[in-house]
Structure 1
Amino acid sequence: MGENNTSVYEFEPTNIDGEVTPLQKYEGKVLLIVNTASECGFTPQYEGLQNIYEKYNDQGFEVLGFPANNFGGQEPGSDEEIKQFCNVNYDVGFPLFSKISVKGEDQHPLFKYLTTASNPDFTGEIKWNFEKFLIGKDGELVHRFRSDTKPESDEILKAIETSLDS
């Protein structure tokens, strides 16, 4: 565990409109937290993320996108530019947050927790854009997926459905 953080509900990141957003507001929901980027080979995954968000949202599922410029300079824009890009290109309806750092010395505390929390898959640094962290209804990390696991893959869909049913 990271610095005594026991769930994602303890974090209060800023959303893409500049408002502090306690993750406590998502308590009891299943969350897929993703570090995103606008100029990445995986950027088309925004479409898949939006599709699964629409598919499961009314069952208590949220996708939370955290733009980050840690990998290959693939998220150079401002929050406003990122928001516009996501709306225009992918009609993103799920919550987006203010651009943060997901690794290194300035790593956001939420991602420090996510990369160190125990889970059945793996821990350690994020390797690239669009890694995915599945959070159960109790706010704890259930599964972690690397960038190349597509949002609509059987692996992720099964994990979401299992978490929603639990």
Structure 2
Amino acid sequence: MRKVVYGVIGLFMLIGFALSATGAAVSASSRSPMPDVTFQGIEGQNFRLADWSDKVVLVVNTASRCGYAGQFEEMQELLDRYADQGFTVLAVPSDDFRQELPTNEEVRRYCVMAFGIEDMPMAQITAITGTKAHPFYAWLRDRYHFEPDWNFNKVLLGRGGEVLRTYRASDAPMSEAMRRDIETALKG
């Protein structure tokens, strides 16, 4: 009997973990436009999210030394596939989980050499959690109760800047579900 009870408890825990790891759709009633925020670009430029209000944007907190760093290739593939339809990806390197290279220059060089990232907008190394979180991530935490718990968490923004969906690190950028969400946002 004990084995059955533990088995059922384990099954519920596994289901709960699977659901929490997939991110979440944001209901239309709870959506709100994001504040006017700017990310400092890795090459000195600025990325003001309001300037992309006509685009669908995937914001991804990244780290070069993370086991999920291979997702850079899929992020670039998404960008290549959908850019002409009004889509972009913003990579936000962060050392909050101690897996980023020490300087912006090293991050940029590594991403170009290892993953062929040439034209993907990329912010400077940025705090994404806690009291020093960038205003975008502080807003996500306060408004949507979403704070990255690891590298390569993703946030899909619709045209106008509303949060459509959040994704966990394990959600592959080229997954069928993510492509479907992007395509739906591009049509809407």
Do they fold alike, i.e. is TM over 0.5? yes
Higher helix proportion: 2
Q: Check the 8 A contact 1:114/1:133 in 2, yes or no.
A: no
Residue among 125, 147, 157 paired with 2:147: 125
Moved over 4 A (4+): none
RMSD (Å), alpha carbons:
1.3
Report deviation, 1:88: 0.7
Q: Check the 8 A contact 1:30/1:137 in 2, yes or no.
A: yes
Report deviation, 1:55: 0.4
| Distance 1:44-1:136 versus aligned 2 partners, 3 A rule | same
Tell which structure's C-alpha radius of gyration is larger: 2
Measure, in 2, the Cα distance between the counterparts of 1:8 and 1:24. 9
Q: Which residue of 2 aligns with 1:154?
A: 176
Larger displacement relative to structure 2 (20-29 or 95-104): 20-29
Q: Which residue of 2 aligns with 1:3?
A: none
- Secondary structure at the residue paired with 2:165? strand
In structure 1, what residue type is equivalent to 2:56?
Answer: V
Measure, in 2, the Cα distance between the counterparts of 1:68 and 1:7. 24
Q: Check the 8 A contact 1:9/1:22 in 2, yes or no.
A: no
Q: Which residue of 2 aligns with 1:85?
A: 110
Report deviation, 1:115: 3.0
Report deviation, 1:124: 3.0
Q: Which residue of 1 aligns with 2:100?
A: 75
Q: Which residue of 1 aligns with 2:92?
A: 66
How many pairs are equivalent? 156
Deviations 1:113-154 (A, max 9, x none): 223334xxxx33211000000000011100000000000011
In structure 2, what residue type is equivalent to 1:58?
Answer: D
**What 5-or-longer segments of structure 2 have no aligned partner?**
1-31
Deviations 1:83-117 (A, max 9, x none): 10111111112100111110012111111122333
Residue among 15, 18, 25 paired with 2:44: 18
Q: Check the 8 A contact 2:157/2:163 in 1, yes or no.
A: yes
Measure, in 2, the Cα distance between the counterparts of 1:66 and 1:7. 20
- Secondary structure at the residue paired with 2:151? coil
Is 1:134 matched with 2:156?
Answer: yes
Measure, in 2, the Cα distance between the counterparts of 1:116 and 1:146. 18
Is 1:112 matched with 2:133?
Answer: no
In structure 1, what residue type is equivalent to 2:63?
Answer: A
Q: Percent identity?
A: 33
**What 5-or-longer segments of structure 1 have no aligned partner?**
1-5
Measure, in 2, the Cα distance between the counterparts of 1:124 and 1:22. 21
Deviations 1:32-76 (A, max 9, x none): 0000000001000001100011000100000000000011x1003
In structure 2, what residue type is equivalent to 1:45?
Answer: Q
- Secondary structure at the residue paired with 1:13? strand
| Distance 1:137-1:42 versus aligned 2 partners, 3 A rule | same
Measure, in 1, the Cα distance between the counterparts of 2:92 and 2:81. 20
